[in-house]
Structure 1
Amino acid sequence: MTTERERLDADIAALDGLPLFVAYNANVDGIVRVDDDLEAFLERPSEPGDRLPPDPLDSRRNLAAAIAHTMAAGRGDEIAMTGAFAAALEAELSPDAQQMGGQTGIMTNLVSSLGAAPIAYTYLLSERQVSLFDRPDRVQYPLVEGGTVRLVPLAEAVNTDRTKINWVFEFRTGDELFGVRATDDSRFIAASRPPEFDLSAGALDAAVDQVGARVDGALLAGYHNLTPAHVDGDYAGRLRHARDVIRGLRAGGDVDVHVEYAVTHDDDLRASIYEWILPEADVIGADTHELSLLADDAGLDVVPARPTEETPFNPDEILAHYQILSALRAELGVDCIRLHVMEYHLAVMESYHPPDAVRRGLEFAAINAATKAARGDITAPADLETGLTYDPSAKGREAVERLADHVGASTEGGQLATPTVVACPNRVVEDPAGTVGIGDIVSASSFAIETAVANDRDGDR
């Protein structure tokens, strides 16, 4: 029987040189721990923990309200800032640490560190941003000259002195801010929205089929970065353009497209993403908060609340997740929707890759998630040995078995793999080094393996 280490080695080998397109949002994350110093910097909101402030954030008081609400809810959240407030934070607040941020930046760093060969595009590429790529030698950037795409090293593609900065406020269970106690380990993101982030990539949009001809898959994200300032009227025109770019990418070849969903509290933007972008995906990645927003937009029943100390994990929640994912997949007409939660990973699909390819992806994602949580970063394939030291979650296995009973299937090694549903226990790190980007790590690693296996890069294992 193949050992876990042998399976991991096979997965890493399958990723060697895998060509992927990754776009659109990369930034620098300023990491700030929620503590007494932060409380002293902020201003006390009138009702801490009770409700979200208006979007966009424009003051220290509103920022405090947003962080406190997220702590009380026990799940990650994100709200945009006004340009003026973003500039004020950059001038007045010192981060505890800085790291690569943005879904595109995080996913590019991961796949390049694991040996893949990404072509990455983002709007603002400063020298400061380039310095945060772990393996810039493995990443190429698409420049267009005379209608022809030329791939260049990142250092040759620097196009600005400005850097997009997001602020990530991390907290652990029991941390307090203005009397509000965190019910789980998570984070709140105060996001900047530079005017360049309008989902128009200039000459690249018309030539994107040339990128499609060079890659096997695409990891796309950042659609939630749009603001009313980016559009003339409503969002539909801009997102129709973004839809046409996805179609152009596919015109160049047989390209699988993964869209990584992200939280936005702009109802009109969410509705437009739902209408114009999500149906174009082969696979959509989401967490439970994002799934609850999708379900609300689709008029489905509310997703169960995330477990906290007060509401412990219930294995039956996987049944509700399965039902909602199934309804969403059918409504959107996509091949697959993948959900990552603390205790398990779940994919609901139709006419997607073979179940074993998806199972391999979810199994590999669990190792990557544990590695990221334990180490804080993944910079080389050898780092994944850390993830193997964490056992698959017993609670997650129980949930997967509950789902298997529900669909009339059997599990093998605690995993479920049928033509329409695949589930795998996660590997849980009780005291994570950080929580930012784990969902992006899960989505990128699982999609990369699915794509590699579907292209038979390593044969059967």
Structure 2
Amino acid sequence: MRLWKGLYMNAYENVTNAMPRVRGVLLAYNTNVDGLKYLETNDLEERIERVGRERVFELVEKPPGRIRNLEELFAGILWSITHGKAAEWFVESDEVREYLMEWGWDELRMGGQAGIMANLLGGVYRVPVVVHVPQNTETQAGLFMDGPIYVPRFYDSAFELVHPREAVEDGEDLIHYIYEFPRGFRVFEVEAPRENRFIANADDYNARVYMRREFREHFKKIAERVDLAIISGLHVLKERYSDGSTYRDVLDRVASQLRVLNRLGVKSHFEFAYTASEAVREGIIEMLGNFTSVGLNEVELASVMEIVGDSTLAEEVLNGDLFATIDAMNLLMDETGIERIHFHTYGHYMALTRYRGEHVRDALLFAALAAAAKAMHGNLERLPQVRDALSVPTNERAFPLVEALEREMDMENGIVDMTDRQLAFVPTKIVASPKSTVGIGDTISSSAILGEFARTL
């Protein structure tokens, strides 16, 4: 316990001292508005009863992965509660969209991986960021924090970077409806094993990974102003669209922009999210070798193993087997040639890298502090909030895993020196009653890659 306390304190100082060295970070492609609803048992049970409890529970057993009617909406919510896992399904019904709007929300927040990371990196860490915003409405722009956060725009035919509030435009608000529940939340006979949320995605722009003209035509100008790029939002791609285009068209555009980043020497991180379509998942995995780094959790890593062809390993990863997870990370690195894999799950994080250094472990520790601070406050507004998370208890349930790694792999101070790779392992900080879970994964991954990269400058 004393060892980790000291490592956490040093990591905070090391990472925060290094952050000002970063010239800029590119964040693309998904920014939207999150409408958060904190679920209440009586309200949810009444709504489920009205649409048909028996049918909803049938769908929980065979989740459709999309929403075409109210039964599927509530099946998705119940699936997340039952498993204590996050899920995101696209809403394909206008009737359901009207229902969601009428059901409403308790609060509006910045949404989308790129948007959440922009507020964290630019608004809290004060690192300059350039963020892609598909529809920069007044509502959307108003959710961006003060700080060095920029969007590209044309002004009198000239290209410039300005704060989103200086580039407001007409358009529809892109709303993702997020249904949060705490650990122990009960609905009928179901009890949530841990806190999490279900997302009903009613956003047609991000579902197509829409790229603004400014990004398409002036991507090189943007890339020349940054040292690091974090790409996300590809998980909602469909295999085919009504206009005849496919997910391949989008991936080709992303690959083209990746080539620009690589030519300029910009490090790139891909933030994975669960991708329902196996074809889209396979296409993304084929691209991973063009990135420097990838971040994923146990559900996402298991889904990758299914594509790679090891269903047994996928099941072991889902069941929380530590050494199976390490095997899966090594297999993914072998298959793609990627330099860095960041794995985050409840209670501990790991990073497998083709390079060595304590800065990798320190970045994970800093990310754990940021995640704990976000869980405590819901939204992060100031860097000292991250430092305050030093007081949050370190997860003692991860200590047997530490001992196993020390015994089986000679881990020392959270680092395993492998033949041609390094594995870093850290127990996280656990907040007993988190205010919100939305965006914690994005907070973890962006803090870790930024913290690690800043230490190399």
- Indicate whether the TM-score tops 0.5: yes
Q: Which moved more, 1:438-447 or 1:58-67?
A: 58-67
Over 3 Å counting, the alpha-carbon distance change for 1:231 and 1:210 in structure 2 is farther
1:39 aligns with 2:49: no
Which piece of structure 1 moves more, 366-375 or 15-24?
15-24
Does residue 266 (structure 1) correspond to residue 277 (structure 2)? The answer is yes
In the TM superposition, what whole-angstrom CA distance separates every residue of 1:106-140 from its partner, at most 9, and x where no partner exists?
111111111211111121111101111222x3201
Q: Give the aligned partner of residue 343 of structure 2.
A: 339
Partner residue of 1:397 out of 396, 399, 402: 399
> Aligned match of 2:231 in 220, 224, 229?
220
Q: In 2, are the aligned partners of 1:355 and 1:417 still within 8 Å (CA)?
A: no
The amino acid across from 1:27 in the alignment is: N
Give how far 1:278 is off.
2.2
Distance 1:91 1:144, change over 3 A: same
When residues 180 and 220 of structure 1 are mapped into structure 2, their CA distance, relative to the original with a 3 A threshold, is: same
Q: Is the 8 A contact 2:8 2:365 kept in 1?
A: no
Paired AA for residue 399 in structure 1 = L
2:352: which partner in 1? 348
Name the residue aligned to 1:446.
448
How many residue pairs were aligned? 439
Give the drift of 1:225: 2.7
Mapping of 1:66-85 within 5 angstroms?
A: 66-82=76-92, 84-85=94-95
How far apart are residue 20 of structure 1 and its match? 0.6
- Comparing 15-24 with 37-46, which one deviates more in the overlay? 37-46
Aligned residue in 2 for 1:159 = 169
CA RMSD of aligned residues (A): 2.4
Choose the corresponding residue for 2:114, options 99, 104, 111: 104
- Which residue of structure 2 aligns with residue 302 of structure 1? 314
Quote the Cα distance in structure 2 between the aligned partners of 1:221 and 1:298. 21
Q: What do the CA deviations read for 1:14-60 (whole angstroms, capped 9, x no partner)? A: 22363111111111111122222133234235151742443430222
Measured against aligned partners, the alpha-carbon deviations of 1:84-121 in whole angstroms (never above 9, x if no partner) come to: 14631343112122211111111111111112111111
Q: Residues 203, 374 of structure 1: CA spacing in aligned structure 2 closer, same or farther, 3 A cutoff? A: closer
2:57 matched to which residue of 1? 48
How much has 1:376 moved relative to structure 2?
Answer: 1.2
TM (norm. structure 2) is 0.89
Distance 1:224 1:230 in 2: 18
Query: Aligned partners of 1:393, 1:23: CA distance in 2, in Å?
Result: 33
- SS of the counterpart of 2:57? coil
Distance in structure 2 (CA, Å) of the matches to 1:280 and 1:45: 47
**Moved >6 Å (runs of 4+):** 145-148
Answer whether contact 1:318 1:403 (CA < 8 A) is retained.
no
Tell me by how many angstroms 1:159 deviates. Answer: 3.2
CA–CA separation in structure 2 for the residues paired with 1:107 and 1:158: 20
Alpha-carbon contact 2:113-2:442 (below 8 Å) kept = yes
C-alpha change, 1:405 and 1:271, in structure 2 (3 Å) is same
Q: Which residue of 1 aligns with 2:105?
A: 95
Q: Residues 252-277 of structure 1: CA distance to partner in whole angstroms, max 9, x if unpaired?
A: x22110110011212222222222x3
Alignment of 1:324-335 (within 5 A): 324-335=328-339
**CA–CA distance in structure 2, aligned partners of residues 350 and 3 of structure 1:** 22
Report the equivalent of 1:311.
Answer: none
Q: Give 1:360-375 correspondences, 5 Å limit.
A: 360-375=362-377
For 1:376, the equivalent position in structure 2 comes to 378
Deviations 1:271-315 (A, max 9, x none): 22222x3222111011111111111111122243667xxxxxx7x
Structure 1 residue 165: deviation in Å? 0.7
Percent identity over paired residues: 25
Contact 2:351 2:423 in 1 (8 A): yes
What is the SS of the residue equivalent to 1:160?
coil
> Counterparts of 1:232-311 in structure 2 under 5 Å?
232-251=244-263, 253-275=264-286, 277-300=287-310, 301-304=313-316
The TM-score with structure 1 as length reference comes to 0.88
> 8 Å contact 1:48–1:180 — kept in the other structure?
no
Measure, in 2, the Cα distance between the counterparts of 1:147 and 1:208: 16
Write the deviation string for residues 160-201 of structure 1: whole angstroms up to 9, x where unpaired. Answer: 331111111112233223432222221111112314643433
Deviation at 1:322, TM superposition (A): 0.5
Q: Answer whether contact 1:141 1:153 (CA < 8 A) is retained.
A: yes
More helix by share: 2
